Chain A
Amino acid sequence: MKDVLEKIKAEALSVAEDLKDLKGLDELRVKLLGKKGSLTAALKSLGGLSAEERPAMGQMINEVRAEIETLLSKKQEELGSLAMNLALKSEKLDVTMPGTRPYELGKKHPMTLVTDELKDIFIGLGYEVAEGPEIEEEYYSFDALNTPKHHPARDEQDTFYVEAASPCCFVLRTQTSPVQVRTMESRKPPIKIIAPGRVFRKDEVDATHSPVFHQLEGLVVDKGITMGDLKGALSLFAKELFGGSVKTRFRPHYFPFTEPSAEMDVSCFACEGRGCRICKGSGWIELLGCGMVHPKVLSMSGIDPQIYTGFAFGMGLERVAMQRYNITDMRLLYENDVRFLKQF
């Protein structure tokens, strides 16, 4: 018996040594420990032994069995990891092949991106967003903004007029400034708004002109607002838009609806003020018009200029978008070629 057990053990060891895969291991397990396995047979043969012999032999069989089981499970682990490694190897992918996308994302229009960016800057500075009609009364477009009756801006050459029954006189607004007036008429200071929107001027369509374009207007009215505040607010805005190192300067200018009036230049972002083609060598780029709200505009809008002062500013958005995204032809903005739109 003992010899048999030794033999089983020796065979198990030698067969296990040569095993190549899990299938062989299973066969070995069946051969040894299966119903008809050699060790099972040995166990069965215990019945033929005397009561004295049985415990010793039983113990011996169990020891051999334990040894074999340890051997097999060790082998199982070895061969298992071998098999997994083979499988992993065979499952190798070309990870440089393109990914499968659920679908392509759409893109917001560059004008929306720029407008939203500016809105967010001003919202962060405490401004609300105001809106007004695009077909506008002549009164709000010109008269209430202190534009003289014979000012060239009112010419049919520059402003689109909309047919209306007399005495109505409607125009396509040439600037977002009418929103200033409508806002001042409808609420009391403190007023702190921006009004982005679509405006119209009678320019033929070409690479740098469009009869439809966008502006962003701003208005702050309260007691004690100064030109220093105007400079502070707009310089901060410029830093938010172009980065902390941008410089600003304010030049006197003329607008009928502000007095004093100014234009704000920012240091050229292409050459950082050294002078280049983009800034025509000056180192500065004109960004916006601004000024202290004209006392006549305040009174016409129902705000007492003896008590309140304010500042206003306005800027074209196309130029910002075109500079930001390197767009050289304005017509692209209205063609809606998806190959253009998807670039943003």
Chain B
Amino acid sequence: MNIPINWLKDYVDIDLETDEIAEGLTMSGTKVEAVEYRGKDFRNVVTGKITKIEKHPDADKLVVCQVDIGKGKAVQIVTGATNVAVGDFVPAALDGAILAEGKKIKNSALRGVESQGMLCSIEELGYTKADYPEAPEDGIYIFQNEVELGVCALELLQIKEDIIEFEITGNRPDCFSVIGIGREIAAAFDKKLKYPEITVDEVKGEGAADYVNIEINSPDLCPRYAARVVKNVKIEESPLWLRHKLSCSGIRPVNNIVDITNYVMLELGQPLHAFDLTGVADGKIIVRNAADGEMITTLDGVERKLDSSMLVIADPVKAIAVAGVMGGENSMILGNSAAVIFESANFNGPNIRQTSKKLGIRTDASSKYEKGLDPNISMDALNRCAQLVNLLGCGEVIEGVVDCYPQPRHERQVGFDPARINALLGTNISEKDMYAYLGRLGISAADKKAAIPTFRADLEMEADIAEEIGRIYGYNNIETTLGSGGQTAGKLNQKQHIERLIKTNMTAMGFSEAMGYSFESPKVFDMLRLPADSKLRESAVVRNPLGEDFSVMRTTTLNNMLKSLSTNYNRRVDEAMLFELSKVYLPKALPLTELPDEVDMLSIAFYSKDKKKDFYYLKGVCEAFFEAVGIGNKIQVEPEINLPFMHPGRCAVLSAFGGGIGFLGEVHPEVLKTYEIGQKVYLAAIVCDMIYEKANLTKAYKPLPKYPAITRDIAMVVGDDTLSSQVENIIRKRGGKLLESVKLFDVYKGEQVGEGLKSMAYSIAFRAADKTLTDDEVGEKMETILTSLEKELKANLRDK
């Protein structure tokens, strides 16, 4: 909301600079977003009268004007304008003047003729023809009437103005008005609010009720409807002072009648509407719900289809306005309107908001109504409107008001305990001061009770009173304290601790942390080649998404990893190694009957030109990760051929604690094609919930070995399908307690071992804690191991 400071000063005597007022308002709760100092630096523009115009001797397009600037002084000004004539009163910028956009005026010579300044257009004074309709389309501004010479033209034209932009919070609809902000200034600076004196000169004889009668059929949506009638209307341009206030507040002046309604809306916060009396059949106004499918053409010329949830203002035959939103074309004020009905009504805020949303029109009126207005301001607004008609002399106000207000709203009492308020704020404000602070806000308070005016519907209980007292006392005067309340220990819980550990370990292993959106496109399921019955397709669906790409809650993090790798690949980044620790949302049933499970997933993915960064590199990273969280020895790895998005021969499932906890492997080439990644991608996904629970961070020291280890290397040829885990299991089983470690150090496939076979070489270490082992002891163990390998895996031992 924008309000010119000088308008505010009409209601509060305050002699402070605009920035001081802005600061005071901000700190008392009416936040000033910005101040526009319009015409702040402009200077040295005076009124002048053109006494003589001659052709420029050397330029066809220029003329030389003699300008009387009063007090016996005159200047010569050269201009290119063609709209000036002898006798015109004009704004003349003299030597040293500053105009819009910082334009500086100096004495100079134009084509050899001295010019002691410049005659100004309205644009050069920072405004447009919309603000000053009397200004010419293109040319020098000419005063409509004779003006005193040599006075400040900027002042006369009201060029200079400080305009304050306020951020009004949703609980203060009363502050969407000049008077509302005026009241806040009065409270903040302890001044008196000068509410306008409203008196109306009425034409006696006929009464308003002779012209108009009102019937409210939907009283819940329209608590009040009041109207006045004005006859013999003269539609004209409004005077400068009125236009200036409107344009500085961001409202375009139209004509006197429309401008009056807008003026009162800005001043008191009550939207008003003017109907042409001839557009209202029988002068009968009916406030009713629209019929489903009822049509109305609104003021903006658009035909709109209504439904029964919307409220209309109608006459017996047709709708004449969408209540509180926009008037109808059929009853709008035109240049020839002779009699007018002014409406000052109160409508249900949420209903207006819904209507305005459904129709897609938001007007100054609807945006005020939707916040919920005080029905008690309707009458003042209506009378203020009539008063302005008197003042502008633009019509005859018919005697009386037609007012339909079945259930008037009254002031409420809210009780409060000053001691509790001090306890809540941490202050020591006297009861008397509390009453005074409330009094400044127009709330009379005494005996621990506050009488809440009807325009403050937001004040319901003690805590609300505490805020009013607190903000007038000044939040920044509340003493800062520490340490009230019981002592607590700040810490991360196990899950949060593990989360950090995961991120620290992943970055230490060279992976950077990625972050993805929680929702994605359902197309992702096809991109990942998920079969129709895949559990992963069962996702929670956003009812009102930003678009299909953001419409389902992700059940897998694969898409984000692949998409991110694709981004990097297509930006020609050589290597991208990413991890993400994030949630997937797994519905328990569809449609949702309870909140979905939100499961933390660790996803790890990379592509690289480095050939060493292959499947086993990824596996090594995973192993190191599991070791870091203390469950390295709990993980089982088995081949997995059924994940549709993974290479069937290069994928493994990970299980632990009796269930699957993830997988790792190479991404299926079809999927890579879909994501436009021209490198092999290795990817792992691990469910973290079990890890949070089972992570074992207990550390216990084991004594360093006192006796030497004995190592034996073996090599064998086995079938190509034989798994390393099978070999290792046998070695471990047969090696018994003395076995310390088993390491695979070579695998060879090729001509030398033959088709369908491979050679594997292991290094096996034995150690006893209490003695040095002998060759015989180790030899015995090796013998059992080798026999088992031969028997169980048909291993052909080389160099035995």
Are A335 and B564 interface neighbours, CB within 8 A? yes
Q: Contact check, B544 vs A109: say whether CB atoms are below 8 A apart.
A: no
Whether B484 and A222, one on each chain, are in contact in the complex, defined by CB atoms closer than 8 angstroms, is yes
Interface pair B596/A339, CB less than 8 Å apart: no
Chain A residues with CB below 8 A from B578, complex form: 336, 338, 341
Contact A333–B543 (Cβ < 8 Å): no
Chain A, Cβ-Cβ closest to B22: A282
11 A-B pairs in the complex with CB atoms less than 8 angstroms apart: A124-B490, A128-B490, A135-B585, A170-B595, A229-B482, A251-B27, A252-B470, A254-B170, A337-B573, A338-B512, A341-B512
- Most chain A beta carbons < 10 A, residue from B26, B466, B475: B475
Q: A161-B544, A252-B470 are in contact. List 4 more A-B contacts (CB 8 A).
A: A160-B543, A163-B540, A163-B591, A259-B467
Q: A116 to B500, Cβ gap below 8 A?
A: yes
Select which of B170, B493, B513, B591 is within 8 A of A129 by beta carbon.
Answer: B493
Contact across chains for A162 and B512 when beta carbons are under 8 A apart: no
Q: Using A126-B489, A134-B518, A335-B567 as known contacts, say yes or no to A109 and B513 having CB atoms under 8 A apart.
A: yes
Instruction: Give the residue name and chain of the A residue nearest to B517 (CB).
Output: A212
Closest-CB distance, A143 to chain B (whole angstroms): 16
A164 to B592, Cβ gap below 8 A? yes
Contact, CB under 8 Å: A227 / B492: no
CB distance from A299 to the nearest CB of B (A): 11
Contact, CB under 8 Å: A165 / B591: yes
> Which range holds the interface residue count of chain A?
35 or more
* B490–A152 touching, CB < 8 Å: no
Give the nearest-CB partner of B541 in chain A: A163
B503's contact among A108, A232, A334, by CB below 8 Å, is which?
A: A108
Interface residue A211 (Cβ < 8 Å from any Cβ of B)? yes
- Does A200 have its Cβ within 8 Å of any Cβ on chain B? yes
* Set of chain A residues within 8 Å of B769, measured between Cβ atoms: none
Whether A251 contacts B26 in the complex (CB less than 8 A), given A106-B513, A164-B591, A170-B592, comes out as yes
For the complex, what is the distance from the CA of A119 to the CA of B491, rounded to whole Å?
Answer: 9
User: Are B492 and A123 neighbours in the complex by a CB distance under 8 Å?
Assistant: yes
A164 to B489, CA, bound (A): 39
Interface size class, chain B: 35 or more
Is the CB of B511 closer than 8 A to any CB of chain A?
yes
Q: Are B31 and A228 in contact, CB atoms less than 8 angstroms apart?
A: no
- Contact between chains at A233 and B426 (CB < 8 Å): no
Q: Known contacts A336-B515, A337-B567, A337-B568; decide if A119 and B492 are in contact (CB<8 Å).
A: yes
Which chain B residue lies CB-closest to A104?
A: B510
Is residue A17 within 8 Å, beta carbon to beta carbon, of the partner chain?
A: no
Q: Are B486 and A222 in contact (CB under 8 A)?
A: yes
Interface string of B463-498 (1 = CB under 8 A from A): 110110011000110111111111111111100100
In whole angstroms, how far apart are the Cα atoms of A155 and B500 in the complex? 36
- Tell me if A's interface is mostly helix, strand, loop or mixed: mixed
Report which of A249, A334, A338 forms a contact with B515, defined as CB distance below 8 A. Answer: A334
The 8 A-B residue pairs with the shortest CB-CB distance in the complex, in nearest-first order: A228-B426, A226-B426, A252-B29, A260-B467, A222-B485, A190-B486, A254-B169, A150-B350
A260 partner, pick from B471, B489, B496, beta carbons under 8 A: B471
Within A141-163, the residues touching B (CB, 8 Å) are: 149-152, 155-157, 160-163
Q: Which residue of B lies closest to A212 (CB)?
A: B517
Does B594 lie at the interface of the complex (its beta carbon under 8 Å from any beta carbon of A)? yes
**Contact digits for A241-271, partner B, Cβ 8 Å, 1 yes 0 no:** 0000000011111100001111100000000
Asked if B130 is at the interface (CB within 8 A of a chain A CB), the reply is: no
A227: B residues at CB distance < 8 A: 424-427, 470, 475, 478
Partner of A123, one of B425, B491, B517: B491
CB of B576 within 8 A of chain A?
Answer: yes
Contacts of A223 in B (CB 8 A): 485
Contact A250 B476, CB 8 Å, known A106-B508, A259-B467:
yes
Shortest CB–CB separation between residue A84 and chain B, in angstroms?
37
A125 to B491, CA, bound (A): 10
Among candidates B349, B482, B484, B512, residue contacting A107 with C-beta atoms closer than 8 Å: B512
- Is the C-beta of A122 less than 8 angstroms from some C-beta in chain B? yes
The residue among B467, B578, B585 with the most chain A CB atoms within 10 A of its own CB is B467
Task: Indicate with 1 or 0, residue by residue over B578-621, a CB within 8 angstroms of chain A CB atoms.
Answer: 11000101000001111110100000000000000000000000
Question: Is A112 part of the binding interface, using a Cβ–Cβ cutoff of 8 Å?
Answer: yes
Say how far A173's CB is from chain B's closest CB, in angstroms.
11
B476 touching A103 by the CB < 8 A rule?
A: no
Q: Determine whether A65 belongs to the interface, using a CB cutoff of 8 Å to chain B.
A: no
| Contact partners of A164 in chain B: CB under 8 A | 591-593
Q: How far is A161 from B543 in the complex, measured between Cα atoms in Å?
A: 5
User: Is the CB–CB distance between A342 and B485 below 8 Å?
Assistant: no
Whether B515 pairs with A226 at a CB distance below 8 angstroms is no
Is residue A295 contacting chain B, with contact meaning CB distance below 8 A?
yes
Q: Given A116-B500, A161-B542, answer yes or no on A336-B485 (Cβ-Cβ < 8 Å).
A: no
Contacts of A105 in B (CB 8 A): 507-508, 510
Would A125 and B591 count as touching, CB distance under 8 A? no
Q: A229 near B484 (CB under 8 angstroms)?
A: yes
Interface segment, one of B259-267, B405-413, B545-553: B545-553
The residues of A that contact B519 with a CB separation of less than 8 Å are: 160, 211-212
B442 adjacent to chain A (CB < 8 Å): no
The contact string, 1 if C-beta is below 8 Å from chain B, for chain A 82-114, is 000000000000000000000111111101100
Closest to A108 in B: B513
A108 surroundings in chain B (CB, below 8 A): 503, 507, 512-513
Are B546 and A111 touching (Cβ within 8 A)? no
User: Distance in Å from the Cβ of B778 to the closest Cβ of chain A?
Assistant: 35
Cβ-defined contact, B481 with A228, below 8 A: yes
Cβ contact within 8 Å between B568 and A338 = yes
B458 to chain A, nearest CB (A): 8
Determine if B571 is an interface residue (Cβ-Cβ < 8 Å). yes
Instruction: List A residues 198-239 near B (Cβ within 8 Å).
Output: 198, 200, 202, 204-205, 211-212, 220, 222-229, 231-233, 235-236
Are A338 and B573 in contact, CB atoms less than 8 angstroms apart? yes
A294 to B481, CA, bound (A): 20
- In the complex, what residues of A have CB within 8 A of residue B171's CB? 254
> Closest A-chain residue to B506, C-beta based?
A106
Interface centre among A128, A129, A251 (most CB of B within 10 A): A251
A121 to B, closest residue via Cβ: B490
CB distance from A184 to the nearest CB of B (A): 14
Q: Which of A124, A136, A222 has the most CB of B within 10 A?
A: A222
* Known A152-B353, A339-B573; contact A135-B513, beta-carbon cutoff 8 A: no
Known A-B contacts A106-B508, A111-B515, A226-B424; A233 and B482 likewise in contact (beta carbons under 8 Å): yes
Smallest CB gap from B507: residue in A: A106
Closest to B31 in A: A251
Q: How far is the CA of A105 from the CA of B516 in the complex (A)?
A: 21
CA of A341 to CA of B568 in the docked complex: distance in angstroms? Answer: 11
Q: B525: shortest Cβ distance to chain A, in Å?
A: 17
Any B CB within 8 A of the CB of A58? no
Nearest B-chain residue to A194, judged by Cβ: B490
